[in-house]
Amino acid sequence: MTQSALDTIRHRITELDSHLLQLLAERRQLTQEVAETKIAHHIPVRDVKREEQLLVRLIKEGQQIGLDPHYVTQLFHVVIEDSVLNQQALLAARANPGAALPLNRVAFLGDKGSYSYLATQKYFSRRPGELLEIGCQSFAEIVQKVEHAEADYAVLPIENSTSGSINEVYDQLQHTELSIIGELIHPIRHSLLVATQTSLDKIKTLYAHPQVFTQCSHFLAELGNVEVKTIDSTSSAMLMVSEMQRDDVAAIGSEAGGGLYGLSAIKSNLANQKENHSRFIVVARAPVVVPLQVPAKTTLVISTVQQPGALVDALLVLRENKINMTKLESRPIHGNPWEEMFYIDVQGNVQDGPVQKALESLRGITRYIKVLGCYPSEEISPTKVAAANALTSSS
């Protein structure tokens, strides 16, 4: 193929891509109009039945024009997730008009390019107001910034699907009056980032955050003679490597973050597990109201009386009220050896009957209980339809 023939085709692809973007923006605009109707008529944001119908029809139409069901399904899961999250953000903003700020000052770990930075950008892109990022060196500093009103929000990683809970963040929650007002799930894709033209066999030193090393332990075990240096944040690792400009050093971080430092990826997908996600919480000085049309989560912290079965009794209260627990984490209480705080995430809204009833019962059987926050749930489980279902369906 001649260069000019290639250019012609690429030109058409570029045009089509721009057209796709315009259509997606138009679709997003329409879903915001749907959200307005849902606010006016108190209709839940999520309508799984509608999503099923939509996917079945699209899979069928896709097959007729040569697009495989897997591709169509993946594509529209992303589109619908975006739609649901934007609608939820709109409803939450309407329910808390006083909380809207022209400038959102947000404290997070690290600097430009860290996973927390990317998560911060993503979360606030769906919300009104400008964003001012305040990079910090520790979780304690992040929390203090909000407590001292030097920041309005903090974005904190709380758990990772490969390496588990982030204890330091739970320990910060034990001592603060701040409230959890949001969460977000962000994919963590680790790549090996370098500043110059080089290859994997030349790398002698590797910089990354300790959590990152844990998540990539299988890759590191295969590396052999490479010195591994831990550093306080992913962005510091990237900055270090970009300043050194050497062909024998590399950082582990996201490709998107590395790009901000002029780094490029020579190897990707380094995490032990392919599906590697982190859940971040967003905290603020005041709690928010979550509209009942939006799926909500509530995080509680309790300490139980010291007697056998006390935790089981507390969990039974949730079961009695048909409340689904999504997470249970225990942390030691500082100064009280062998005693523990339990952090419990449940699906439900504090304004709603079942959660209120459960809280009332829990108050009677626990030594200490506090609601750390109620916030819109961003764990959007994708609607599944079998391709066979789509093909046999007449709709």
Ligand X SMILES: O=C(O)C(=O)C[C@]1(C(=O)O)C=C[C@@H](O)C=C1
What residues form the annotated binding site for substrate?
10, 27, 38, 47, 51, 83, 87
The Cα 363–Cα 370 span in angstroms is: 9
Q: What is the DSSP letter of 99?
A: G
83 binds ligand X (CB under 6 A): yes
Q: Compute the least distance from the CB of residue 95 to ligand X, in Å.
A: 17
Q: Compute the least distance from the CB of residue 381 to ligand X, in Å.
A: 12
Nearer to ligand X, 84 or 156 (CB): 84
Q: Compute the least distance from the CB of residue 90 to ligand X, in Å.
A: 11
110, 117 Cβ separation under 8 angstroms: yes
The Cα 257–Cα 241 span in angstroms is: 13
Q: What is the DSSP letter of 202?
A: G
Member of 32, 39, 47, 389 binding ligand X (CB under 6 A): 47
Nearer to ligand X, 51 or 159 (CB): 51
Footprint (CB under 6 A) of ligand X, residues 12-41: 31, 34
Reference 300, options 278, 320, 330; nearest CA is 330
Whole-angstrom Cα Rg for the chain: 24
Q: Compute the least distance from the CB of residue 40 to ligand X, in Å.
A: 13
51 binds ligand X (CB under 6 A): yes
Q: Which residues contact 279 (CB under 8 A, 6 or more apart)?
A: 157, 158, 159, 160, 183, 184, 185, 186
Nearer to ligand X, 93 or 256 (CB): 93
The DSSP string of 31-88 is HHHHHHHHHHHT--S--HHHHHHHHHHHHHHHHHTT--HHHHHHHHHHHHHHHHHHHH
Nearer to ligand X, 37 or 307 (CB): 37
Nearer to ligand X, 80 or 106 (CB): 80
- Give the SS3 label for residue 121: helix
54 binds ligand X (CB under 6 A): yes
Member of 56, 58, 80, 288 binding ligand X (CB under 6 A): 80
84 binds ligand X (CB under 6 A): yes
Q: Compute the least distance from the CB of residue 278 to ligand X, in Å.
A: 25
Member of 11, 12, 50, 367 binding ligand X (CB under 6 A): 50
Nearer to ligand X, 85 or 107 (CB): 85
Task: Count Cβ atoms within 10 A of the Cβ of residue 111 and give its class: 0-12 exposed, 13-18 middle, 19 or more buried.
Answer: buried
Residue 281: strand pairing partners: 156, 183
Residues contacting ligand X: total by CB under 6 A: 11
Interface with ligand X (CB under 6 A): 31, 34, 46-47, 50-51, 54, 80, 83-84, 87
